[in-house]
Amino acid sequence: MAKQHRTAYLDYVRRSCDLTMRGGTTSGVIYPLAVCALAEHYVFRNVGGASAGAIGAAATAAAEYGRYAQPAGPVTGDAVRPGFAGLAGMIRWLISGTGDARWRLPRLFQPKPALHKAFRLVTALMQSPAVTGRRRFTSVATAVLFAVKPLVTVVLLLLFALWLVGPYSLRWVVPPSTWNGSLWIVAVPLGVVAVAAAVWAYRVAAARLGKITLFLLLPLAIGLSGVPLYDMDANGWLVASAVLVVCWLVLTFAVAAAIAVIYCVTSWPVVMRYRSHRFGLVPGSAEYSPGRLDRICGMPSTPAPPLATWLADRIDDLAGIDHTRALTFGDLWRGPDKPRVSDPEYCPSTGDRVINLALMTTDLSAGRPHQLPFPATERWQFCPECLRDLVPGRVIAQMSGDDVDGVSCPEHTSVTLQWLPQPCEMPVVLAARMSLPLPGLICPIPLYRDGRPHWFSDGGITSNFPIHFFDSLLPRWPTFGLNLSSADRAVKDGEIHLPDQDSSTPREPYSDVGGTALSFAGRILDTFMDWRDTMQSALPGFRGRIATIPQGPGEGGTNLFMSPAVISRLALRGRDAGIALRQRFTAQFDDEADGYTRTDRYRWIRLRLALREWREVALQADARSVLYRDRTAHYPVPAAMRDWFTGPTLPPTADPAAADINCAYQHFVDLANTCLAKQFDGTAPVDPVMRLTPPE
């Protein structure tokens, strides 16, 4: 019987894995087919992610829950089947449209009606003749022109007319013949200075605007056409042309400055009251129907639900449940074989959960990360009115019912705050929604504690690739990572990066900082957010289980307008990454002994690294025993630490566990005098750092 249990346990472990996914906005289209490829062999025990990776993680956990389920209703429209077939169905839905329906992905991002003009400009900036069939200049010009009130639009048109015909109109104020008879000593320097200034202005503009800069020369060309050649001498024509160039430059800068002032004054109230707009353009569950100007600027009008509503429905579809009650963390922890019941006190340990989902979010108000779901000891409050339009109404209704006595929302004084459900009752879609808000684009989620609002934003701000979520010194199974990178070239089909798990020096990641201040600032921000994840991903025992999927220009990132062909290419690249990971850890390779796989190599490396940590602790315990050996036996515990003890109300004069602690400490000292005293040959050339770190 013991042998049967051992065989069953080993098979359970062999089929198990953890998975962590990196954030990247629309790059999330890479993950579904990668997950499907891994699911052909593995069962996902722990799944985690941040930002767009949180969407992938939540969908993966739901698909694992519904692996063997039948659809809860008809699979029509944007609905998908339960399990991993539904994950593939989500990609199929994104790429199956024709005409305007090709843009289902950007249609999920529906703006708040009050800020639709700002979102219209964001959409216009993403237009490209090669992708959407619209010229960016035309779309941006339309968005900018009609982003203000009608009277201001008239003023802008008048300014444009003044700029366009101003140089030509100069001939009626100062006739060109006035400059006949000018001295060459005046005409030549004036002409040289004017031409040099025009060339400088053109080159500066061309570096930022490209071909559009030619449009800026139109007023100058019109003005020069009004300078006659037949009744002017050479010096006079040169001076007249120089005056026109100066007039063109002055008008261009003056009109540009006037337009900048107009838009600053117009947008200032919105910027200063951005809190009233929930710090974002896209609420998440508020619907918006694009108007004619929106469509001209590139905003698609194909029928599609808002992002949070779509996500909530798809998570329930993948789990094989109807939409009357959203999937909760407790459902995942119990697994699909147990009934879905409401039990607020149910909170098993991580190892006892059938499916464990962990997502990263960032509390901007406290300046710290949080791992979702919150621990049971952390009680948060929410205002249903504050969450309206940010989270689907059915999810808010599911959470409501437990009022906080006598506490009203600071922003909606007539609304009583309610307790956020216990971790097991927390809807999965709420956690995903709290992790994905891209700053400035998607509204963060406000929760309350101690009467103060806390704004939860993009989990990628603090950890965009939380590969550390499920790691331990001696893991039972691998934690796979799906990482993303950017390339400044076209990426070949099937091109992924999966480092060898060997003794070679890891490849150092490299990204060019670019040539502009904006690109340089972007690299600073990326380094600030990702340095820990990047360094950890290169360590032995880590790098061989992290597949990096490159993205070329126009792929992933904040590029909402990806054609079905691009989405398909990214999804298939993700599938290749999933297949590569699955084959690496399950197949028999020539450089492994018979019966051993890369999974065995992975465990061997982790064992060697763990022994190094234990050796370091043992040596420190031995060397510093005079400081710590009898510390717990003689140190009187202060009253300020009484909350640490679950026994008497008043703490004892000495640590009640002193004897056991001293015994354990002595064991560490004894280990320092065993085989751990010497450095093992063959240990990976890396010094993992064990430190006390605050919880997320």
Q: The pTM is what?
A: 0.86
- DSSP per residue over 671-688, as a string? HTTTGGGSPPTT--S--P
pLDDT at residue 691 greater than cutoff 60 = no
Closest CA to 87 of 575, 464, 555, 597: 575
pLDDT at residue 64 greater than cutoff 90 = yes
For CA atoms 393, 398, 401, 405, the dihedral sign is negative
The CA distance from 586 to 597, in Å, is 6
3-state secondary structure of 305: coil
For CA atoms 483, 487, 490, 492, the dihedral sign is negative
Q: Residue written as tokens 């944007």? A: 78
pLDDT at residue 416 greater than cutoff 50 = yes
What angle in degrees, to the nearest 10, is found between the helix axes of 150-173 and 218-225? 30
Bigger pLDDT: 188 vs 629: 629
Bigger pLDDT: 212 vs 329: 329
User: Strand pairing of 43-50 and 381-382?
Assistant: unpaired
Query: What pLDDT is recorded for position 690?
Result: 45
CA atoms within 13 A on the CB side of 340: 17
184-211 mean pLDDT: 67
The percentage of the chain sitting over the pLDDT mark of 70, rounded to a whole number, equals: 86
pLDDT at residue 333 greater than cutoff 90 = yes
299-322 mean pLDDT: 93
pLDDT at residue 625 greater than cutoff 80 = yes
pLDDT digits (tens, 9 = 90+) for 463-511: 888 888 888 888 899 999 998 888 888 888 888 888 876 655 666 666 6
pLDDT at residue 190 greater than cutoff 80 = no
4-31 mean pLDDT: 87
For residues 55 and 27, the answer to whether their CB atoms sit within 8 Å is no
Q: pLDDT category, 652, cuts 50, 70, 90?
A: low
3-state secondary structure of 418: strand
pLDDT at residue 551 greater than cutoff 70 = yes
Query: What pLDDT is recorded for position 336?
Result: 92
The CA distance from 677 to 673, in Å, is 6
Bigger pLDDT: 292 vs 215: 292
Which of 61-65, 89-93, 314-318, 598-602 has the lowest average pLDDT?
598-602
Query: What pLDDT is recorded for position 650?
Result: 62
Q: pLDDT category, 383, cuts 50, 70, 90?
A: very high
pLDDT at residue 385 greater than cutoff 90 = yes
The CA distance from 66 to 267, in Å, is 47
